[in-house]
Structure 1
Amino acid sequence: MPESNYYYVRTRFNGPVLVERTYSPEIKVREGSLKLYFQFMADGNTNKFGSFFIEIGNRRYRMTLLIGRGRFYVVEE
Structure 2
Amino acid sequence: MMYGIGYGGGFGGVMMFGLFLLLVLVIIAVYFIIHHFTSTNAKDGSRSIDNAFAILNERYARGEIDEEEYNRKKAELRKL
What range is the shorter-chain TM-score in?
under 0.3
TM-score by length of 1: 0.18
Instruction: Report the TM-score, using the length of structure 2 for normalisation.
Output: 0.18
Q: Higher relative contact order at CA 8 Å, sep ≥6: structure 1 or structure 2?
A: 1
Q: Structure 1 or 2: larger helix share? A: 2
The structure where strand makes up a greater share of residues is: 1
Task: Return the index of the structure with the highest Cα Rg.
Answer: 2
